[in-house]
Structure 1
Amino acid sequence: MQFFRAIIFKVLSVLLFVVMAGIIKSVSDHVPPGQSVFFRSLFAIPVIVVWLAMRKELRIGFKTQNPMNHVWRGVIGTSAMAMTFGALGLLPLPEMTAIGYAMPIFVVVFAAMFLNEPVRLFRLMTVAVGLVGVMIIMAPRLSVDVIDVSETLGAVLALGSAVTAALAQVFIRKLTKTETTSSIVFWFSVTATGLSLLTIYWGWVVPTPKEAALLVLAGIIGGVGQILLTSSYRLADASFVAPFEYSSMLFSIAIGFAFFDEVPTSTTLIGASVVIFAGILIIWRERQLGLERTKTRKAMSPQG
């Protein structure tokens, strides 16, 4: 029953994040990415605070041992969010989602670079396969025959968001050694709100009442999605629920078609399939290694 709840929470969080992305995309013609980041972050805070209060973790959420680490994590995460929102205004939603699947691939690379995690032949092969999938997706946007340069910019921003999101994941791994999940979630929303204000210089706009309502809704949905995601990882191992992240392709295709008349190209679907295959292999391998480490610890324990 617990595993079933974890799956439900994960899939619901994925759905909410895709809906949030669709909302941001719907206002992207008028509202700049930095302003969207501000609304997304600010209006997620009340949701997170209420959640922490309900769990009696409010004090834990405020408490931090390394405030500057939260700031740096905020800089990286906010950059990833801004590039994601920028790309949403330039690319079809399914294509943006597909390129985002490259994030776990880059996590493997950065974990080896910055956390000294071993990278054996199997991981190298999955990274190579994943990068091939990414290039398949991006190839039409990087071709010399591209008519709309904005699509090329969108593809570059989408890939940049995957890279910086992977860096953020590596930074979170380091943060979890001294910080609680509650504080990481709370302080990211706070730092992202503050950092997004710096983009006022590049021109914010006065949103229409409809746009303002949608932006507030995006923030609330993002906050609820974050809570559901965190809850799913509380109930089950990350390696168990992580594959359900790929349900976002189905949701993005449905929302893209229903609201933006977008139909994914065969190239996008083929490339996404390759990246998803590589991602699942990485998740499976991580699970196997986790089981091996658990067996080793039990064997070495006095009770083992």
Structure 2
Amino acid sequence: MREDSAKPMGQGAVMTPARAFLIAVIGIATFSMMDAAMKGLVLATGVYNAMLWRGFVIVPLAALIHFARGPAMPPPGVIGLHALRGAVSLAMGMLFFWGLARVPMAQAISLSYIAPLIAIFLAAILLGERVGRASIVGSLAALAGIGIILFGQSRSDLGDAAMWGALAILGSALCYSYNLILARQQALRADPREIAFWQNGFVLIGLLSASPWLAVVPPSGQWPAIGIAAVLATGSLMLLAWAYRHGEASYLAPTEYSSFVWASLFGWLFFGEHVSPWTLAGALCIVAGCLYAARRKPQPFAEAEIQNP
């Protein structure tokens, strides 16, 4: 057991499920801001270079935060878990950002909602978590909202590029459903600072393997956006890791639906993307589903219960 991560933040500290839920929502909002920054970068430099150069900023930033406290080296089993989630995150990110550059942000997010729906049931299979009635009903309400959005979008012609973008996002969603389960397993064995460093480090290693053929140094004017995307990515990862450390994956997964509201806002602010009445109606269903799912009353999760091998 590593003492630095096994000790509670305070004697007898109990982290309530409601607080974990709120932190997860904030993490999703931060993640959506990063999506907007990355969409601009992908349009300017391509998905590979946007992710590569963002990684060169994220990893030193995460290292500074992680190693400032003098942590012990993670056990091999935990390193393997970081590597696995890094590989899944790399595939997920490449597919998602490639698709995001070809469809409106609101559509991209609505398609990605298949992930938390799958994750709720994966949590029951892989983690042995109970799938509560509120989680099921909330997810069904959100699914109805997605159906409304997709019906409205089917009435407009976005072209072949949008079709391929949608398929890429659906592929990313399949990766993300497993990523949510890994997030819970990872958060129970490492703290958010460790996760942010090692996971991003493995993503960067994967990207560097193709750098002799694909890497292109971006112009100086794009570095501020790269830095902003890196800070937002690191912050969102740490917030979500904290939330999943203190709440069950099946309970927190519905918070993913709140990203639709943020994606609609940022898409409109930064890219002039308009939200149709169909999209607004679907968003209301999604938010209602999230709020209903949050009514579930799991047992408080004490940080002192978390132990690392």
Q: CA deviation at 1:100?
A: 3.7
Matched, 1:46 2:60: yes
Equivalent residues, number: 285
The correspondence of residues 6-17 of structure 1 with structure 2, limited to 5 A, is 13-17=27-31
Q: 1:201 to 1:264 in 2, by over 3 A?
A: farther
Q: What are structure 1's unaligned runs of at least 5 residues?
A: 295-304
Q: 1:256 to 1:290 in 2, by over 3 A?
A: same
Q: CA deviation at 1:25?
A: 1.1
For residues 172-202 of structure 1, the C-alpha deviation after alignment (integer angstroms, 9 at most, x for no partner) is 3233454444332221110111112345477
Of 175-184 and 38-47, deviating more is 175-184
Matched, 1:290 2:299: yes
Verify the 8 A CA contact 2:195 2:238 in the aligned structure 1: no
Q: What are structure 2's unaligned runs of at least 5 residues?
A: 1-14, 303-309
Q: 1:23 to 1:175 in 2, by over 3 A?
A: closer
Aligned AA (1:80): M
The correspondence of residues 13-162 of structure 1 with structure 2, limited to 5 A, is 13-54=27-68, 56=69, 58-60=70-72, 62-66=73-77, 67-119=79-131, 123-139=135-151, 146=157, 148-162=159-173
Of 29-38 and 247-256, deviating more is 247-256
Q: TM-score when scaled to structure 2?
A: 0.74
Corresponding residue number in structure 2 for 1:302: none
Corresponding residue number in structure 1 for 2:3: none
Matched, 1:215 2:197: no
Instruction: Find the aligned partners of 1:202 and 1:99 in 2 and give their Cα distance.
Output: 31
Instruction: Find the aligned partners of 1:171 and 1:225 in 2 and give their Cα distance.
Output: 16
Aligned AA (2:96): T
Aligned AA (1:161): S
SS at match of 1:290: coil
Q: CA deviation at 1:48?
A: 2.0
Q: CA deviation at 1:7?
A: 8.9
Instruction: Find the aligned partners of 2:168 and 2:138 in 1 and give their Cα distance.
Output: 23
Verify the 8 A CA contact 1:35 1:196 in the aligned structure 2: no
Instruction: Find the aligned partners of 1:8 and 1:138 in 2 and give their Cα distance.
Output: 28
SS at match of 1:289: coil
Aligned AA (1:103): A
Instruction: Find the aligned partners of 2:135 and 2:27 in 1 and give their Cα distance.
Output: 28
Percent identity of equivalent pairs: 21
Q: CA deviation at 1:105?
A: 1.7
Aligned AA (1:135): G
SS at match of 1:43: helix
Q: 1:115 to 1:133 in 2, by over 3 A?
A: same
Q: CA deviation at 1:263?
A: 1.0
Instruction: Find the aligned partners of 1:179 and 1:215 in 2 and give their Cα distance.
Output: 27
The correspondence of residues 252-291 of structure 1 with structure 2, limited to 5 A, is 252-285=263-296, 288-290=297-299
Corresponding residue number in structure 1 for 2:11: none
C-alpha root-mean-square deviation of aligned residues, in Å? 3.7
Aligned AA (2:281): I
SS at match of 2:43: coil
Q: 1:79 to 1:282 in 2, by over 3 A?
A: farther
Aligned AA (1:23): A
For residues 120-155 of structure 1, the C-alpha deviation after alignment (integer angstroms, 9 at most, x for no partner) is 666544444433333333345567x74501112222
Aligned AA (2:221): K
Instruction: Find the aligned partners of 2:135 and 2:239 in 1 and give their Cα distance.
Output: 29
Q: TM-score when scaled to structure 1?
A: 0.75
SS at match of 1:190: helix
Residue 168 of structure 1, aligned match among 158, 179, 185: 179
Corresponding residue number in structure 2 for 1:300: none
